[in-house]
Amino acid sequence: MRLKDKVAIVTGGAGGIGEQTAKTFGSEGAKVVIADFDEKNGQKAAKHLQESGVESLFVQVNVADHESVEAMVNKVIDTYGTIDILINNAGITRDAMLKKLTKEDWQQVIDVNLSGVFHCTQAVLPHMIEQGSGSIINTSSIVGVHGNVGQTNYAATKSGVIGMSKSWAKELGPKGIRVNAVAPGFVNTAMVDTIPDKIVNGIIDKVPLKRLGDPIDIANAYLFLASEEASYINGTILEVNGGLVI
């Protein structure tokens, strides 16, 4: 098992890519912490893992709030005594053309997608430094690499995640902590469900593999980067997009 007895926090683990990541990590022997604001679905996801034999814990958290994140991390340490892997997967969209983008929608996306990654990483850092090891994987996006119409706020955060990941890889590598990012393309989740079918079909037509990504495609990328198989990979931005931007 590639993650046997490792303790992994998955933010945004109550659904979509995060929930699939929790399942995938659990199947590889990890103790999985589902950290999410959605208490109902988070508890449900953790229960399903437990019923399948995975040691799992749900902790409600607002990643945009530093104190909430600190409380979540303290709960994980009290329960398991260590944190080996952090998957900064939580994210939201508030799409609008630049002319119509409100200050509130700008700030909400910044608070969750960018500040949330900062809060979570900073909170786990003392524990990873103390043990001299850890793997932090941040979720960027194809939009953070190549931009997208109507997603100024989202693109800004996902580009920011890339910059933070590279900076942290340089800063934390000497302490035994690897930092990488995954940049998914368009994945078949509730977030994509909000896009009109005509646009989705147009995206699929441009993808050489002729399909959207599945959550398992991204979860497998996280798994590889979290495992010892990627022990010499640090500061990488792994694009998982089916070849859309070739």
Catalytic residues: 154
Angle between helices 16-27 and 215-226 (to 10 degrees): 50
68-89 per-residue burial string, b: 16 or more CB within 10 A, e: under 16: bbebbbebbeeebebbbbbbbb
The number of beta carbons lying within 10 Å of the beta carbon of residue 4 is 9
Taking residue 156's Cβ as centre, other Cβ atoms within 10 Å add up to 18
Q: Which helix (H) or strand (E) element contains residue 86?
A: strand 85-88
Can you state the angle between helices 66-80 and 116-131, rounded to 10 degrees? 30
